Structure 1
Amino acid sequence: QYFFKRPEQMVSGAVSPPQVDLTNEDLIRAHVHAVWLAQAGLGLGTSLKELLDIRGDDPPMTLLDHVRDAVNADPPKQRAEERASTILESIRDQLAQSDWYTPGWLHEVVSHIPISFEQACERWRSLYMSALRQAQKQDRVIRDASRPASDRAQAEQLRRNAEAQLRLLTESQNLIQSDFYSYRYFASEGFLPGYNFPRLPLSAYIPGRRFRRGKDEFLSRPRFLAISEFGPRSIIYHEGSRYIINQVILPARDTEELQTSAAKVCPSCGYLHPHADSQPRDLCERCGTQLQAPIRQLFRLENVVTKRRDQISCDEEERLRLGYEIKTVVRFAERGGQPSYRVAKVKRDGQEVASLYFGNAATLWRINLGWTRRRDRDQHGFILDIERGYWQRHQADLDDNGDPMTPRTARVIPYVEDRKNCLIVEFSRHLDERVMATLQAAIKNAIQACYELETSELAAEPLPDRDNRRAILLYEAAEGGAGVLRRVVDDLDAVSRIARAALELCHFNPDTGEDLRRAPTAKENCEAACYDCLMSYTNQMDHQLLDRQLIKDLLMELSACNVETSPAPRPRAAHLQGLINLSGSQLERDWLQLLEDRNLRLPSHAQSLVEECRTRPDFLYKEQQVAVYVDGPPHDYPDRQERDRQQTNCMEDAGWTVIRFGHRDNWELIVERYPSIFGDGS
């Protein structure tokens, strides 16, 4: 729309190439995996049933022998590392400017391929085992003559759904067009490159319409879209029919308890702090604000089930129109134990106007707090049947006896997680919510115009939330990222160009500030906002706040600003001191001093609990999945050594690499054995 209304900016027959961030770590890792797959000569077949052992009523779901041997073989990995090294040499200059690439990165990725391959299979395993367990469970109900006829009828329906899901996962017919075709599946899991479908999607099971010979299928959506589109009791339209999200596919689990998590979110800046009762945090890591009580019962939304609905009530329609209250929070990635982000100051004549914080591959959560239209604004989440996975119906919904709930329910808060390049914009002076909402729309649209992005490639959210707008969060929504937000921080005149583009979009002359009142080809004047400047489908909730007149002076000021980029925010010395403070013995402090003396990479965490193994390693390199134990004299006793062996086995089964430094060992030799973890030093 922008360029069609500005034909002078279009050249007939010329198409701008898509922008891809060549220094995106996930993207490069996926290409390294593809190189390895070619070197290994491992065919993935058409379905993961050709890779995993699914035999029997209680299948082990492990890799088949020939697949495991191919994944663990060393010669293909060595050839892949040599080939990938040659490829990476072509972007050496770009990699040198990234904040994640190290000389040992490639070797680490190749060595980690067996674990990465296993992890990529987990979603398929979970879907298969959940469907298999449901089919087996409902079959027992059907064969139990003591159960009421209504229970057996319900069980037959649930078993049919489960069997249909199993067929979708395993049948080869038309599977090449399916989301579960092996190569497409591994691309969607981020193990292989994939640009034409979403990475790490959420899937909704759509039952076929029997009387019209409809086919069962899974419908996939990017997770940040699915948190609302596939939200509890949401309505989706597919091939002319209406379906309601009535159930979650619960992962197969050994215990009856539902796995949930907790987090604290800064009320001032929206920064995310994963929470553990054993390690409470009272102050925000980013801004130092006092943190409030944690958000508990956070439930990671993965895959859902739908059922067909012929009609919906007026109350349902109104709730669906207003949608959900979605809260987006952010946490910067950690490199070398420190938050990894770059800071830039936007200044005019030496006076600070705004601050920019760019984070590469930052962790973003989108949390569904509940319906926007709900009576108690302080009550968050939805009621979930933790045995069958049904979402509780609203009291005002149509009479529907198709989703009988068991007594075992819990209130949970669905959320999704992903890693995105992001930019936080904070202004030096306080701005009211109308100005912030208008700036959010103007800056987003201006960046899209300057860097020729599609609307779907860039997203913008207020921080910490819509009711308290203190900053603007921008993140690259396209797969792989376009790399434009990094350029906003790196280019000295980027902010000036974006501000001028925003002025032009808002119908102002960027040189004089004169109000032109309308877009070049528009027939009507724009008073506050229109679809040529600020309004769009994605910001409908903000339409009443938008007013282009409120931001003209600030945009004129920004158009005369330049950018000063600062180094990393937290110095190494401060991080080292934090690790020393958490150390539990002098031996651990001596080990840290060795790393400091040799200028080696510091661990990211100290004394962090690994829940699945109930162990607290002395130090963690969390990004590399490495746990370090510094063992003193008590570990020389046989009973303690046996416990250490059990802990090591559990950690390795969970995907961790365990490195032990005994008090009698030569620590320098151990360090030299792992250059991809500790670095090469000075």
Structure 2
Amino acid sequence: MVSGVVAPPKLELGNPDLIKSHLYSLWLFHTKTSFGNSMNEILDLTKPDYPILDSLRDQFILSEHGLQVCIKDAQRILHDAFCQEDLNRTSWYSEDWVKQVLENALYSFDRGCDRWRKLYHEAEVQLQEAREIKDKSRTGSLTESDREKADRLEKDASRQLDLLVGQSSKGRSQSEFEFYPYRYFASEGFLPGFNFPRLPLRCFIPAGDKGEFLSRPRNVAIRELAPRNVVYYESSKFQITKTRVSLKGVNYNSVSCCEKCGYFHEGTTFNHNTCQNCGSAVTDRLDYGLKMDTMITRRRERITCDEEERLKYGYNLTTHFRYADGKKKEGVVSLEDGTELLRLTYGETAEIRRINRGLRRSQVKGFTLDTQTGEWGDTNGNNSTPSQQLQSGVNLMVSDTCNILVVEPLKLPGKQMNEFLTTFQYALERAIQAYYKLEMDELGSERLGEGRYLLFWEASEGGAGVLSQLFNDSHAFRHLADRALDICHFIHDKPSCSVACYECLLSYQNQFDHPLLNRHLIKDFLTELTESELSCLNSHSSNHFDDLMAHTDPNSDYERVVLRAIAQMGLPLPDKAQDYFAEAQCKPDFTYTKARLAIFCDGSVHDNPTQIQCDRIKRQDLEFLTGYKPFVFDYKKDLMKQISSLKHLLD
């Protein structure tokens, strides 16, 4: 007999990406259009940049009446009481936002094809280059080794092209393939896809006659698809040997990380030595951060003892976070006598960044990359490639956006502090999962920096919305502490559990921390938490949006239109309005300090030829003298397309 309770799944309905994907699916329904079985039924592969087929684009364009019907259906669905409960707490949601999303659906769909376009273009380029090399062999100028390499590249490129257009479907359903359109758009976040990881990373496996693309969630790919790692596929070994390199060259990111709290600061514009989150000195600077892209593997018959020994100890992975602008709540958990036990910070749609800094047992920090071919260098630094093509110290990075909770325990023991923090981390994680009825894979946790900060994040697609609920209940940590005491066998004793067991704190996922777990270390602390109370800290920041709006040019309505659109689409607000740059004698309408962007909102007054010439000179001077790149909103162009372009620059 089986008994139990089936709890409904939890979703964070205040997640803009989740709502967008459902709105796009509603839009697709109203267009009455089918994607077919392959991306080549959507895109015209005979034209440059592979645009959407003209016949399909016409079907995607709704009439004015059809668009209004679609908008009304969307608003009717979102007016559901459960939706409104979450949506009313957000700053981005409005009926105008729904209208803008649906009006911009075709553009978003087109952008959703970009990742596939990139893969297809790169495979085409590889195929062309391989054939050019083979053509040279007719002159006798190539060695046998070069010809074999060209044959392999040509074969791999042909395999990839077949996979991308679904020509490898023999004996399998089309829907099982990685690039089946509905599956692909779900993974890109355009359509709801709760069974598929959003924006996964892929590697190409040249197995069998056709090969295969494997996709992994980004937090898994950062270690599983890391350079020189071994992937086992259908009883064969394949080693990650190469990454995609743009024809324009490698685009590195500069990142500075706080070693105390784990907060990261991005861009070369961060020249301070102080962490923006905790105020500690920042000394961990990475100049060659590389966003992880599609990886290429090569079959390996055997792995040497040295390679196996280094891989056994894994990679040096670190996790960092950054709050979204204006989306942070702070609180303190304390006793009646004022003793503070925990400091909490909740971040809505915060960014989690994971960095792979190379093999733990390697003498070389980071990875070595051939910047021309994309080949990963040997982990020992033994490379035959000319040194001018090699870049050492490359650190791979992946990012996720999710709701996070950063917990800083304030009352720490004098001894066994690391063991205490580790045990409390997993006890609190299990308590949240049990109290809010979450699956184990719906909530993740990790120790940050020096280990004194605990990071919890909603790992399920769309988020579960439980971390924000903690701030709505002043006795939340009383309930969690009671549940943790029960989980750790302090309410119902289990004599066979000495320090930890698989019924309380141990799991396969935290096996490397098993030696640190000791439930007895946290008993007194959990008992104190049962008498605690959570109080939210008041935010003293002014309403930044209203402040920007107040500083706009009173004679320019278009500035205010642009600012409202930026806010409604959930983009970070500009840092300043009407900030004057004396050296360039120029005053942009808005500026983003971190991104070094100067925003100009050109209304009809800028149509005058003399004004156009003046604008061009001043903006060129601004970029040359200050490094601020001009970004122009033109009132004659589609506003939402311009907003999307701005978003790409801010990402």
1:183 deviates by 0.7
1:612 maps to what in 2?
none
Which of 475, 483, 490 is the matching residue for 1:493? 475
What per-residue deviation string (whole Å, max 9, x for no partner) do you get for residues 386-412 of structure 1?
222211123399xxx9x9789622132
1:433 maps to what in 2?
418
Alignment of structure 1 residues 401-416 onto 2, 5 Å: 408-411=389-392, 412-416=394-398
Give distance in 2, aligned partners of 1:27 and 1:557.
38
1:365 maps to what in 2?
353
1:93 deviates by 2.6
Give distance in 2, aligned partners of 1:282 and 1:118.
42
Give distance in 1, aligned partners of 2:340 and 2:193.
41
Tell me how large the CA RMSD over aligned residues is: 3.8
Which of 304, 308, 314 is the matching residue for 1:317? 308
| Residue 48 (str. 1) matches residue 39 (str. 2) | yes
What per-residue deviation string (whole Å, max 9, x for no partner) do you get for residues 146-202 of structure 1?
121211111110111111001000135343211100011000000000111111111
1:160 maps to what in 2?
155
Evaluate the alpha carbon distance shift between residue 40 and residue 627 of structure 1 in structure 2; reply closer, same or farther with a 3 A threshold. Answer: farther
Give distance in 2, aligned partners of 1:69 and 1:53.
14
Alignment of structure 1 residues 175-214 onto 2, 5 Å: 175-209=174-208
1:244 touches 1:308 (CA, 8 Å); kept in 2?
yes
Which of 201, 213, 236 is the matching residue for 1:241? 236
Match of 1:162, SS? helix
1:293 deviates by 5.9
Alignment of structure 1 residues 376-455 onto 2, 5 Å: 379=365, 381-395=366-380, 408-411=389-392, 412-430=394-412, 432-455=417-440
Give distance in 2, aligned partners of 1:232 and 1:607.
42
2:268 maps to what in 1?
276
Give distance in 1, aligned partners of 2:181 and 2:411.
52
| Residue 29 (str. 1) matches residue 3 (str. 2) | no
| Residue 343 (str. 1) matches residue 330 (str. 2) | yes
2:100 maps to what in 1?
108
Give distance in 2, aligned partners of 1:509 and 1:590.
68
Give distance in 2, aligned partners of 1:302 and 1:186.
18
Evaluate the alpha carbon distance shift between residue 325 and residue 600 of structure 1 in structure 2; reply closer, same or farther with a 3 A threshold. Answer: closer
1:342 touches 1:569 (CA, 8 Å); kept in 2?
no
Give distance in 1, aligned partners of 2:370 and 2:71.
48
2:54 maps to what in 1?
65
2:552 touches 2:589 (CA, 8 Å); kept in 1?
no
Which of 549, 570, 574 is the matching residue for 1:605? 574
Evaluate the alpha carbon distance shift between residue 642 and residue 489 of structure 1 in structure 2; reply closer, same or farther with a 3 A threshold. Answer: same
What per-residue deviation string (whole Å, max 9, x for no partner) do you get for residues 609-634 of structure 1?
9xxxxx99642699xxx984267999
Match of 2:316, SS? strand
Letter of the structure 2 residue corresponding to residue 353 of structure 1: L
Give distance in 1, aligned partners of 2:273 and 2:59.
48
Letter of the structure 2 residue corresponding to residue 344 of structure 1: G
1:638 deviates by 4.0
Give distance in 1, aligned partners of 2:433 and 2:356.
27
Give distance in 2, aligned partners of 1:296 and 1:606.
25
1:599 deviates by 11
Which of 628, 639, 650 is the matching residue for 2:613? 639
1:607 touches 1:616 (CA, 8 Å); kept in 2?
no
1:71 touches 1:113 (CA, 8 Å); kept in 2?
no
Letter of the structure 1 residue corresponding to residue 391 of structure 2: A
1:20 touches 1:483 (CA, 8 Å); kept in 2?
yes
Query: If the length of structure 2 is used for normalisation, what is the TM-score?
Result: 0.82
Evaluate the alpha carbon distance shift between residue 630 and residue 309 of structure 1 in structure 2; reply closer, same or farther with a 3 A threshold. Answer: closer
| Residue 85 (str. 1) matches residue 75 (str. 2) | yes
Query: If the length of structure 1 is used for normalisation, what is the TM-score?
Result: 0.79
2:117 maps to what in 1?
125
What per-residue deviation string (whole Å, max 9, x for no partner) do you get for residues 227-269 of structure 1?
111111112222222221111133x43x2x2111112222332
Letter of the structure 1 residue corresponding to residue 352 of structure 2: L
Letter of the structure 2 residue corresponding to residue 447 of structure 1: I
1:303 maps to what in 2?
294
Unaligned runs of 5+ in 1: 1-9, 511-515, 519-524, 610-614, 648-653, 662-669, 678-682
1:80 deviates by 2.2
Number of residue pairs matched?
598
1:474 maps to what in 2?
456
What per-residue deviation string (whole Å, max 9, x for no partner) do you get for residues 397-447 of structure 1?
9xxx9x978962213211111111111111223462221111111111222
1:33 touches 1:192 (CA, 8 Å); kept in 2?
yes
Give distance in 2, aligned partners of 1:18 and 1:405.
55
1:680 maps to what in 2?
none
Which of 454, 462, 480 is the matching residue for 2:447? 462
Unaligned runs of 5+ in 2: 580-585, 622-628, 647-651
Give distance in 2, aligned partners of 1:396 and 1:313.
16
Which of 250, 254, 265 is the matching residue for 1:258? 250
Give distance in 2, aligned partners of 1:238 and 1:453.
32
2:602 touches 2:634 (CA, 8 Å); kept in 1?
no
Letter of the structure 2 residue corresponding to residue 60 of structure 1: D
1:492 touches 1:564 (CA, 8 Å); kept in 2?
yes
What per-residue deviation string (whole Å, max 9, x for no partner) do you get for residues 500-533 of structure 1?
22222222128xxxxx354xxxxxx233223222
What per-residue deviation string (whole Å, max 9, x for no partner) do you get for residues 60-86 of structure 1?
222222334444545344332221111
1:110 deviates by 2.0
Which of 140, 146, 165 is the matching residue for 2:132? 140
What per-residue deviation string (whole Å, max 9, x for no partner) do you get for residues 632-677 of structure 1?
9999534235679999xxxxxx9x882579xxxxxxxx9xxx9xx9
Letter of the structure 1 residue corresponding to residue 353 of structure 2: W
Match of 1:605, SS? coil
1:369 deviates by 1.1
Evaluate the alpha carbon distance shift between residue 587 and residue 30 of structure 1 in structure 2; reply closer, same or farther with a 3 A threshold. Answer: closer
2:29 maps to what in 1?
38
2:633 maps to what in 1?
658
Evaluate the alpha carbon distance shift between residue 233 and residue 368 of structure 1 in structure 2; reply closer, same or farther with a 3 A threshold. Answer: same
2:332 touches 2:535 (CA, 8 Å); kept in 1?
yes
